[in-house]
Amino acid sequence: MELTMPTLTRLIKFIGLGIFAVAAQAQTPAAPDALVKSITLEVTAIVKQDKDIQSGNRKKIYELVDAKVLPFFDFTRMTRLALGRNWNTANPEQQKTLVTEFRTLLVRTYSTALTNYRDQTIDFKPMRASGDTEATVRTVVNQPRGDPVTIDYSMEKLADGWKVFDVAVSGISLVTNYREEFANQVKNGGIDGLIKTLQTKNQGGDAGAPRPAAK
């Protein structure tokens, strides 16, 4: 079964357009909403000024994503949430592989979507905090043509800073959508079948995509 249904395709497209909003420099101690807002100016400036990125230069796009996005997502928690109860049926080695492949899948998709950024603007709405360790940073992407799109980032405070563990576009959760797809894969082919599907999908793309080791 294809892992990206029309809903997922639209979902990730807008996540790709807004994902730069959650990248940050590790040494910056800030509340999650302040972090999001401050870095947006930096990364949007890079995308707007870099003609190579706008024209689809894969190497430069991956370098940007690797430097500004990867360190600030909790891909282990994202993968665990996407797997749901099937996560506990995977052994440690399978879990490690799933995190790596899921991260690669999302990074490749995000990188492609970044080339679509042109004149969108981002508004920041009041943050919703859940205690001291979790918060939802709420944003709205305004498009030159089309309706505004809400993008909400669920973030957690870890020892090394705030990390994103889910993204919701127009109220649709990324990990929830993948959970259905992953469940179908596991039902039909087990954990190894899901891993094989992810690996095949990732190998079919640009070989230059970053494939960092799972944490």
Angle formed by the axes of helices 174-203 and 75-83, nearest 10°: 100
Q: Is residue 136 part of a domain?
A: yes
CATH number of the domain that 41 lies in? 3.10.450.710
Average pLDDT over all residues of the chain:
79
Residues of the chain above pLDDT 90, percent: 30
CB 75 within 8 A of CB 52: no
Which residue from 121, 31, 15 is spatially nearest to 69, judged by alpha carbons?
Answer: 15
Q: What is the mean pLDDT of residues 17-30?
A: 51
What's the number of domains the chain is made of? 1
Q: Is residue 214 part of a domain?
A: no
Find the domain containing 127 and state its range. Answer: 6-203
Q: Is residue 208 part of a domain?
A: no
For residues 19 and 131, the model is more confident at 131
Q: Is residue 156 part of a domain?
A: yes
Q: Is residue 161 part of a domain?
A: yes
